[in-house]
Chain A
Amino acid sequence: MENLIIEETKYTPLIKMDTNGTIELVGKSYPENTFEFYVPMMEWVKEYFETSAADVTTVNMEITYFNSSSSKLFFDFFDLLEENNDKKIVINWIYDEENESALEAGEDFMEDFEDLTINLVEK
């Protein structure tokens, strides 16, 4: 399967999905239609786990600002990761020390997904 790259825009983050097991989301997330925007990513992740998951999958998320539907989408994304937790998955939630809400969001994910390995990484 192919890698997926969606370039960063004013309202959407850079998305880099590599079959070598590195998944990256960097930037802001205010898409006009959040669920539609993330369809390619979610589809890719599903196919990745079904067909060609690497031994270790590392998810680096550095989302500075995001709207509430992005929040919801990230929960769905984490659900999807949790469903495939039989493989080794490491999630790095990267936040700026001054960005309190990014830290809180990370803490929420940790609370909700006890079975996932989520690291809070201060930049």
Chain B
Amino acid sequence: MSNSSDNKLVDELESLKISFTKTADKIIKDINRQDKIMARSDKRQRQEYDELQKKLIEVQSLQEAQKELMDSFIKLIASAIDAKSKYTGGHCSRVPELSLMIAQAASDSTDEAFKEFEIKDDVQLRELSIAAWLHDCGKVTTPEYVVDKATKLETIYNRIHEIRTRFEVLYRDLKIEALEKMLAGEDETKVASWLDSEYKKLQDDFDFLANANIGGEFMNDADQKRVEDIANRTWERYFDSSKGLARHERERLTDDNSSFPVSEKLLSNKAQHIIPREDFDFEEYEKFGFKTPVPKDLYNLGEVYNLQISRGTLTQEERFKIQEHVIMSIKMLEELPFPDQLKNVPLFAGAHHETLIGTGYPRELKKEDMPLPARIMALADVFEALTAADRPYKEAKTLSASIKILSFMVKDKHLDEDIFKLFLSSGIYKEYAKLNLSPNQIDDVDISVYL
């Protein structure tokens, strides 16, 4: 009994021992494996980390390249606009320069007015810079004849009308020559004196119109009436005015060409002068928050209508076409998928023609609706335009005269007073002038009268 139970115990112990040894072997094997697994895993992790780092550097350099490409693209658009019109010169590149100078000063300022404005990082600076570079991007869509319209009668012109007029003149010259031959022997003094006074009147009228065409002076009611009086003089037309016209012009033509001569006014407003506004999306216009009234017609080329423009050379239709550049800028920029940190670009760029009191365009914003960068750009835009020396149609103004005009605009609440004062007190006006104005423009400015 005891012997057999002893044996059994020995067997059990033996089997336990084997099982224990097996388990111990397994545990040791497992520990060894575990060590190996950990060591390998650490190594792999390090490799993966190295690879990630390498990829990150690659991505960063690609990002940098993409940023540079985008910046060049932006500058390309700006220089395309500047190149489009000799009248705007280097405007698109100088406005960002000046805007950033003022924005930096506003950020550094401890003044109460700028306490909420701070340029925290390069990204924010970039947002401002892009907005300033693209503030006029909509001008790519503005017709040159409107941007550059230097006289009231200027337009894209089919010169067939001028050529036809010369034929009309030749026609009369032939007739006169014949009459002169027939009438030889009349009281010459009388005829000469009459002709003289008629010529003088004709010259006077032409001089008046020619001067009015330049649009340099305000045209009062009496002058406008005189345009009408001159216009009412008539002449006989023997030639067909429907010949040599393009389809659109022919379609608008209302002249009577059934029999000749046709009695024509010297100057006229004809239905054919009106180019109707087509396909204008008023719903979209409203959706964007644009408030500037839209003239009924796209253009009105009426001769009397244009010569009667009271100020400048632009009709209300053309003025709207010019103002539409901001509308286009906003629409174009809002189409772009700006990342979050650049989302204000359309807002900053699209408000540089707003005033502080809702009289600007296109959204008729008030000061509280205009972010500071937009108000800075508004001032930079005006100051650049005043001081620019590369506009062929006007003399560049002196520094003091330009600042005086800014002060009037500040008084009228068209420009921001705090920004104007910062512009002066920070000395930016001088710094910018040194960089961009010709020496004869830079005169002494007593800024104390404005501060």
Contact = CB atoms under 8 A, between A and B. Distances in A.
Interface of B is mostly: helix
Contacts of B40: 68, 71, 101, 104-105, 108
B170 interface: no
B31 to A, nearest CB: 12
B44 to A, nearest CB: 5
Interface residues of A, number: 12
Ranked nearest first, the 10 interchain pairs of A and B with the lowest CB-CB distance are: A68-B41, A71-B37, A101-B44, A68-B37, A75-B33, A72-B37, A108-B36, A101-B47, A104-B40, A71-B41
B34 interface: yes
A82 to B, nearest CB: 12
A75 B37 contact: yes
Nearest to A68: B41
A67 interface: yes
Contacts of A67: 41
Nearest to B46: A101
Given A65-B44, A71-B41, A101-B47, 20 more contacts: A67-B41, A68-B37, A68-B38, A68-B40, A68-B41, A71-B37, A71-B40, A72-B33, A72-B34, A72-B37, A75-B33, A75-B37, A101-B40, A101-B43, A101-B44, A104-B40, A104-B43, A105-B40, A108-B36, A112-B33
Interface of A: 65, 67-68, 71-72, 75, 100-101, 104-105, 108, 112
A112 B41 CA distance: 17
A60 B2 CA distance: 58
Contacts of B47: 100-101
Q: Which of A67, A68, A100, A112 has the most CB of B within 10 A?
A: A68
Interface residues of B, number: 11
A25 B111 CA distance: 69
Contacts of B37: 68, 71-72, 75
A117 B152 CA distance: 96
Nearest to B42: A68
A122 B279 CA distance: 67
Contacts of A65: 44, 48
Nearest to B29: A112
11 contacts: A65-B44, A68-B37, A68-B38, A68-B40, A68-B41, A71-B37, A72-B37, A100-B47, A101-B40, A101-B43, A101-B44
Contacts of B38: 68
Contacts of B34: 72
